Amino acid sequence: MEPQEARVEAQEARVEALESLLAHQERALQELSDLVASQWTRIDALTREVLRLRDDVQTFGARAAPDRPPPHY
């Protein structure tokens, strides 16, 4: 094998290795992107739930707190 042919084959092998690595990196990036999107959806839902619960507690507190002390005081 001539030196030029060996260099070409070595370069082709490097390009194939880089293409394979790039494919794996793209897949990993997509998986992480999907995970982040899923987490944001869950965070939004939990935030809405916390706000609803806070409103419920405030509403209950306003109803339960009498303006005057109970009669036994």
Residues 13-47 pLDDT 10s = 999 999 999 999 999 999 999 999 999 999 999 99
Q: What is the pTM of this model?
A: 0.64
Burial 58-72, CB ≥16 within 10 A → b, else e: eeeeeeeeeeeeeee
| 22 or 69, higher pLDDT | 22
Name the E strands within 1-73.
none
Distances (CA, A) of 22 to 19, 27, 52: 5, 9, 45
